[in-house]
């Protein structure tokens, strides 16, 4: 007896492929270099260069603290999500008996249900690693900001090298944070599999459309185009 039905295999393959294609398109293609994320990444360098011109940098450090706190919030939230996924895994029989009473009547074997729970937990673990590494990188950026040369040294090769070093680390922190958020959103799409494989395809497609519109056809994107 096969554990996965053909529909399940098709749905999970569509889910993985959609995630991969979206991520590659956004991060490694020319079209992705016109996204909202890419445009904000440019402003990271602008910010760092303007920090070099300022004598007092307390406001910049406060902004950096805000970015760190936001990343820490997502990392801690992901731990709660991991705990929820493991709780579902331990409560297979109870969860299936409750779902069986619902109007749409979910049909799933205990083994398949547990695999779905493990898959959801793995996504949240991936998101946690991305958020925690992003938080660590933001800490490194804060250190580099503290080591920024004074404004009277801004035209020296050392200062320009420091700006680019800080910018690249800053952009890397933002990139990993974006990947963590992307995993969060795809996890919402993944929940459709608990209902049926066809719902998984529909929810995955809906998530991709929502994220794509935010990157290329949102008010925020248009405001950055002006």
| pLDDT for 68 | 95
For 141-167, b where at least 16 C-beta lie within 10 A, e where not — what string? bbebbeebbeeeebeeeebeebbeebb
Is 151 part of any domain?
Answer: yes
Task: Tell me the Cα Rg of the chain.
Answer: 22
Instruction: Assign residue 176 the CATH number of its domain.
Output: 1.20.140
Q: What is the pLDDT of residue 54?
A: 87
Under 8 Å between Cβ of 54 and 177: no
Give a yes or no: residue 32 inside a domain. Answer: no
- Note the pLDDT of residue 194: 86
What is the mean pLDDT of each successive set of 10 residues along the chain, which is 226 residues long? 80 97 95 92 93 88 93 96 90 74 66 90 97 97 93 90 95 97 96 90 97 94 84
Please check whether residue 17 is in contact with residue 26, taking contact to mean a CB–CB distance below 8 angstroms.
no
> Distance of CA 62 to CAs 57, 68, 124, 135, 164, Å?
9, 10, 29, 15, 21
Residue 89 pLDDT: 85
Count of structural domains, the chain: 1
96 in a structural domain: yes
In a domain, 136, yes or no: yes
Q: What distance in Å separates the CA atoms of residue 23 and residue 204, rounded to the nearest whole number?
A: 14
- Residue 47 counted as domain residue: yes
pTM above 0.75, yes or no: yes
pLDDT of residue 1: 45
Domain of residue 47 covers 6-23+37-219
| Residue 90 belongs to some domain of the structure | yes
Task: Decide if 225 is inside a domain.
Answer: no
Furthest-apart CA atoms within the chain: distance in Å: 74
Please indicate, yes or no, if residue 147 is contained in any of the structural domains. yes
State residue 90's pLDDT score.
84
């Amino acid at each position: 007896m096969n554990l996965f039905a053909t529909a399940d295999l098709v749905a999970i393959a569509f889910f993985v492929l959609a995630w991969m294609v979206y991520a590659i398109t956004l991060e490694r293609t020319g079209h992705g270099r016109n996204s909202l994320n890419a445009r904000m990444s440019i402003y990271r360098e602008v910010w760092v260069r303007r920090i070099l011109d300022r004598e007092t940098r307390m406001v910049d450090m406060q902004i950096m603290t805000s970015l760190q706190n936001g990343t820490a919030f997502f990392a801690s939230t992901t731990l709660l999500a991991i705990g929820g996924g493991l709780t579902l895994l331990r409560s297979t029989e109870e969860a299936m008996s409750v779902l069986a009473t619902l109007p749409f009547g979910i049909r799933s074997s205990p083994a398949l249900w547990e695999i779905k729970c493990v898959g959801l937990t793995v996504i949240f673990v991936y998101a946690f690693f991305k958020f925690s590494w992003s938080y660590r990188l933001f800490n490194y950026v804060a250190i580099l900001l503290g080591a920024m040369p004074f404004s009277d040294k801004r035209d020296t090769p050392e200062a320009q090298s420091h700006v680019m070093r800080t910018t690249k680390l800053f952009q890397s922190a933002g990139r990993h944070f974006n990947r963590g958020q992307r995993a969060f959103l795809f996890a919402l799409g993944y929940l459709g599999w608990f209902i049926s494989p066809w719902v998984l395809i529909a929810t995955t497609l809906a998530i991709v459309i929502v994220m794509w519109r935010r990157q290329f056809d949102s008010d925020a994107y248009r405001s950055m185009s002006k």
